[in-house]
Structure 1
């Protein structure tokens, strides 16, 4: 016989499950030097890429604004 449950129970269980997973990840990040160094390096790399991409997208608009408005 299949176990029947409600959608709201599944939703709450999923929320709690992922909250616990995030909590465990934060705990390991704070208390495991290798994981902390690795993830900090990866996040730093990701943010550097993000800044480069944003800069690459913004410089044409900035250049156009300077050309249109003059170099004030």
Structure 2
């Protein structure tokens, strides 16, 4: 993944949008970045997976985060 694409998404998912947890690892949550997929999970149950080929505008990413939050 292009680092500029990740830097667009990162500020919206570094801290869990559900509980505010900023930690990953040791059971706190995960962050996985592949070619076109960004995944962020949290111990609170937040589970976000986004395919950047769908677009990287802030509006699109915020909508995907809202869907993840609504599924909790």
What TM-score bracket applies, with the shorter chain setting the length?
under 0.3
* TM-score, normalisation: structure 2: 0.21
- Whichever structure has more helix as a proportion of its residues is 1
